[in-house]
Amino acid sequence: MSTPLRLGIAGLGTVGAGVVKIVQRKAELLTARTGRSVEIVAVSARNRDKDRGVRLKDYAWEDDPVALARRDDVDLFVELMGGSDGPAKAATEAAIAGGKDVVTANKAMLALHGQDLALAAEEAGVALRFEAAVAGGIPVVKALTEGLAGNEVQRVMGVMNGTCNYILTRMEHAGLPYEEVFEEANALGYLEADPTLDVGGIDAGHKLSLLSAIAFGTQVDFGSVELEGIERIEIADIEQARDMGFRIKLLGVAQMTGRGLEQRMAPCLVPADSPLGQLEGGTNMVVLEGDAVGQIVLRGAGAGEGPTASAVMSDVLDIARGIRVSTFGQPASSLEKPVPAKATAPAPFYLRMELQDKPGALAKVATVLGEAGVSIDRMRQYRHQRTTAPVLFVTHKCPREALDRALVAMGATGVVEGHPVAIRIEEV
């Protein structure tokens, strides 16, 4: 009879408890599907006495996750603590050095240290898997590394942070301002301890950088992801987008061009009738485009106990079956360092600004746009204020560089109050 696969789980929060539940409740199913039993032998967490809703008394306890990673009776180290450095990184490195396979849900650690960890795993001859680090229960890592391995990927695109999607769709349906929905999401426990990780686009940017590495055969380069969060989106933007047949999404886009690798995570307008436009609440969606397969759309729960634990277990079961796949789909030593590139392909843009309520203000702005090579498709003035006039433009297709030149020049006109909001209208 095959020997069991013995797990050591570090981190017993929502996801860790979910993994324990699956192992305990689905033991026969896991054995049937892998040909060997999957057993937990030891666990580690910050608080030994906390009630997590699962039975833990049968497992050895380690206060130090590094000690857990070094145990002789652990074959597979499951890292679910989180954090880009500290105990998570130290324990992962210890496990790899000890010849143990690793499964992690830690997108921040991999976004910052993924190349070094993948090289270490390769040298040690162990697996480092991270399906749960991107898009929760959606098997997008497996889709790229296995299902689409015969494709040259042309573009990766998606909504990868459920909290931001919840906030934007809640603002739209309830007609509530950003600040109020933000507090509501925080009260519901949807936001990270540092909310800027969510609303600032950082969490989603981590995920995009990992998918880019797999899709384009490059080293992870989170530092080159262009990041813009949703903090400046107002209910007026959402309403105006809806009136034009669009919805606003925090959208990640990555593609390889002749100039280098483009990676951007920013609010975009997408057609309301597109799959991305119809995405509601905390759901995630990833769109993959390959030269042979065309466009693939993956949709599902992007977070939560069950979906994320499901993704963790998919990696665990692959290792139990003896399936070995390089961390980023090909040997880490073969991954090229990418050349970062900014998006230059022309696109239409939504542009909202507050103009001083005086003669000639609109003409000055139109002149600045024209001189920068940005032509106006349509314009609307709405909700006239006491001293300012809110104005909305939609441009014809133009390079972002041209629009940025215009935005800088507007500051010298003396008629624009505050900072204009510019949102790309994405073709999906």
The beta-strand segments (E) located in 272-403 are 283-290, 294-301, 349-356, 376-381, 388-395
Tokens of 320: 């139990």
Closest CA to 341 of 270, 287, 268, 401: 401
Q: 52: Cβ–Cβ under 8 A, 6 or more apart, which residues?
A: 12, 16, 17, 20
| pLDDT tens per residue, range 56-110 | 999 999 999 999 999 999 999 999 999 999 999 999 999 999 999 999 999 999 9
Q: Which two tokens stand for residue 173?
A: 């349906």
pLDDT score of 385: 65
> Structure tokens of 363?
């003409």
pLDDT at 383: 64
User: DSSP string covering 260-309, please?
Assistant: EEEEEEEEEEEETTSTTTT--TTEEEEEEEETTTEEEEEEEE-SSHHHHH
Q: Are strands 5-10 and 38-44 parallel, antiparallel or unpaired?
A: parallel
CATH class belonging to 140-302? alpha beta
Give pLDDT, residue 428: 84
For residue 384, the model assigns a pLDDT of: 66
pLDDT score at 35: 95
CATH 3.40.50.880 for domain 5-133: no
Q: Are 150 and 125 in contact (CB under 8 A)?
A: no
If one compares 157 and 390, the residue with the highest pLDDT of the two is 157
**What tokens appear for 292 in the block?**
């042979």
Check whether 349 has a pLDDT greater than 70.
Answer: yes
Once rounded to an integer, what is the mean pLDDT over residues 212-227? 97
Q: What is residue 2's predicted lDDT score, i.e. its pLDDT?
A: 82
pLDDT above 90 for 16? yes
> Distance between CA atoms of 405 and 368, rounded to whole angstroms?
9
Catalytic machinery residues: 207
> Could you say which DSSP state residue 43 is in?
E
Which residue did the predictor score with more confidence, 45 or 189? 45
Mean pLDDT of 41-63: 94
User: Binning pLDDT at 50, 70 and 90, where does residue 423 land?
Assistant: very high
- 349-425 matches 5-133 in CATH topology: no
Tell me the CATH class for 349-425.
alpha beta
pLDDT at 327 exceeding the cut of 80 = yes
- What mean pLDDT do residues 232-258 have? 94
The answer to whether residues 71 and 2 touch, using CB atoms and an 8 Å cutoff, is no
Q: Are 416 and 357 in contact (CB under 8 A)?
A: no
Domain ranges for the chain: 5-133, 140-302, 349-425
Band of the pLDDT at 241, cuts 50, 70, 90? very high
Flag whether pLDDT at 51 surpasses 60: yes
pLDDT greater than 90 at residue 388:
no
pLDDT band at residue 192 using 50, 70 and 90 as cut-offs: confident
φ/ψ bin of 230: left (φ > 0), alpha (ψ from -120 to 50), beta (otherwise): alpha
Q: Is the pLDDT of residue 34 over 60?
A: yes
Average pLDDT value for the chain: 94
CB proximity list for 25: less than 8 A, separation 6 or greater? none
Does the pTM of the predicted model rise above 0.85?
Answer: yes
- Band of the pLDDT at 382, cuts 50, 70, 90? confident
